[in-house]
Amino acid sequence: MAPNPCNDWHDWERFPEDHDPFHYWLWDASVESQSEERLGQRVYISSCLLWSALHDRYVGGCLLDKYPNWSAICNYYSMVHALRLFWFVLYGSYPTGHAEMGDSFDPNTRHARARATWCQEGMRGGVRGRGRPAITFAAFKQLLEDELQQPTLAARLGDVGDVFLAAKELRTDSNYESLILAHQYHHILRDRRNVHLRFMDATEAFRRASTVTITFVCDCLKRAFDEEVNWIGRGSRFDGSELYRLMLRYVRDKIKKAHDGFERKDRESARSVRSHRLFDLDVQIDPIDYWWSELGLEFDGRAAQDVAGLGNAGGLVKYAQLPRFQIKGQFMSTFSAKVERLQDAVRRMAGNDGSPTRS
């Protein structure tokens, strides 16, 4: 049985039954077709997490001045998505709970650890009924230092933990404490402290926290895809740089679809094609590259248009399609079921209240 908690990332290799997320994505030459399919899906999932982090950061910037609380929340969730990406790229899964995510990055306690809970059944190949070992801060730090050969990033891991833990604590106040939230626009205390100005300070701090967190994760991401390391495609015939371009191609495609959707809504409402309606706020649309221009994500825009420019990695695109992507299909189905449950609950409540129901 694997040590629990896990302080040494090499245990992921030594104990495949206990660290099934790590082994699920590994290349296995004996089942090459399955390995190729999973590699293609791993790259796609990475792009979804990166896109989500960039998207929430972008929306947080749009809401910065007029809706400070929602701006702070968007930037907070961009950090959550970014740290999930860090876990997923290195381990293959991540803690879904925010408290657990914070625990895994806490540099100030010897109990810094968390269990990966995302997609537990979808990847389960080991011993059922036995929980996965908790992964510690020390294991990730060791991996960055030894395997990815990035001592500078390893040294910054504790700083990332401090930023997220402080943001998580503040987010609880700003999101749930109505005595604070109700005064986000204007309120002066007897000692002349302006609550609104402090709220704007908090919003700006969240924006900066999101930027430094995503930047750190992107630095780790680039190293994981680097040709020298190729952590993602280790043991496969696929070049790490080609896999990296494929991932960014997915992200750019998602950004373009978002912009196309904004512009389509603008045309339908006879508005300028350079703005869209968001929370009843006019927001200027920035060029596509703005979404990552500050983060140092180098990208050749032509590769996004030409699958052939992705080399061998271009053949992995088919594995991201829903009919072949079992995990994606399961999550989409579960999401739809949860939406229907909410709709049913609302309809029942409206009916019991005597209010008119709507289909």
Cα-only R_g, the chain:
22
What's the pLDDT score for residue 155? Answer: 95
Question: Measured between alpha carbons, how far is 160 from 158 in angstroms, rounded to an integer?
Answer: 5
Residue 195, φ and ψ in degrees, nearest 5: -65, -35
CB 45 within 8 A of CB 88: yes
122-157 pLDDT tens trace: 676 544 445 789 999 999 999 999 999 999 999 999
Question: Within 13 Å, how many C-alpha atoms sit on residue 161's CB side?
Answer: 23
Question: Measured between alpha carbons, how far is 257 from 273 in angstroms, rounded to an integer?
Answer: 14
Of 78-82, 108-112, 172-176, give the lowest mean pLDDT range. Answer: 108-112
Evaluate the CA torsion angle 260, 333, 351, 358 in order and state its sign.
Answer: positive
Considering only the C-alpha atoms of the chain, give the largest distance between any 2 of them, rounded to a whole number of Å.
Answer: 72
- Measured in whole angstroms, the distance separating CA 190 from the mean position of its chain's CA atoms is 42
Answer yes or no: is pLDDT of 268 > 80.
no
Of 36-40, 109-113, 335-339, give the lowest mean pLDDT range. Answer: 109-113
Q: Which helix (H) or strand (E) holds 240?
A: helix 240-268
What's the pLDDT score for residue 210? Answer: 94
81-103 pLDDT tens trace: 999 999 999 999 999 999 899 88
Answer yes or no: is pLDDT of 42 > 90.
yes
Answer yes or no: is pLDDT of 288 > 80.
no
Q: Which two tokens stand for residue 199?
A: 């709220």
318 residue type, one letter:
K
Sort strands 275-278 and 281-284 into parallel, antiparallel or unpaired: antiparallel
240-251 pLDDT tens trace: 989 998 998 888
What's the pLDDT score for residue 191? Answer: 52
- Helices vs. strands in the chain: H and E counts, helices first: 13, 4
CB 3 within 8 A of CB 133: yes
State if pTM tops 0.95: no
- Extract long-range pairs of 92-96: CB within 8 Å, 24+ residues apart: 92/21, 92/22, 92/23, 92/24, 92/25, 92/42, 92/116, 92/123, 93/21, 93/117, 93/118, 93/119, 93/120, 93/123, 94/118
CB 167 within 8 A of CB 76: yes
Answer yes or no: is pLDDT of 273 > 50.
no
Q: Which residues pair with 188 in a beta bridge?
A: 194
pLDDT band at 282 (very low <50, low <70, confident <90, very high): very low
As a whole number, the mean pLDDT across the chain is 82
